[in-house]
Every structure is written in structure tokens, then in C-alpha cells.
């Protein structure tokens, strides 16, 4: 029974990490309305790079 408790904690922890990452993505990109936003400025390019890295991290969880 101890193993299932540990597994449940890991599953919940993973869920929280994914949910937090999705919230960050939503916040970081709330003002993005066109793809051009990412290419029009260095800040947009940084946002795109950071968002891609976060999406990749979610996929590896």
C-alpha cells in the first residue's frame, strides 16, 4: 500500500508542475495576437524561446 501512496504523490506533483507551466504560458503570451509579435522585437523572440522551452519541458514530464 505504501507504493501506491508514493505513486499518487508523484502523479499529483507532476500534475501540479504541468498546471503551473500552462498558467505561465498563458500569462507570458496573453498579449500575443499574431505570430508577428514574436518576430517584431528581441523581447518577442525571448518570449518565443522561453515558451518553446517550457512546452518541451511539459512534454518530458
What CA–CA distance (Å, rounded) separates 44 from 34? 11
What CA–CA distance (Å, rounded) separates 32 from 39? 11
Q: Which helix (H) or strand (E) holds 13?
A: helix 2-28
Write down the pTM of the prediction.
0.78
Instruction: Quote the pLDDT of residue 20.
Output: 95
For the stretch 43-56, pLDDT in tens is 999 999 999 999 99
Residue 21 CB burial class (10 angstroms; 0-12, 13-18, ≥19): middle
What CA–CA distance (Å, rounded) separates 16 from 61? 11
Amino acid at each position: 500500500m505504501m507504493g501506491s501512496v508514493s505513486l499518487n504523490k508523484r502523479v499529483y506533483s507532476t500534475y501540479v508542475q504541468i498546471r503551473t507551466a500552462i498558467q505561465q504560458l498563458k500569462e507570458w503570451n496573453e498579449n500575443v495576437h499574431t505570430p508577428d509579435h514574436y518576430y517584431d522585437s528581441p523581447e518577442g523572440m525571448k518570449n518565443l524561446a522561453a515558451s518553446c522551452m517550457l512546452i518541451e519541458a511539459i512534454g518530458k514530464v
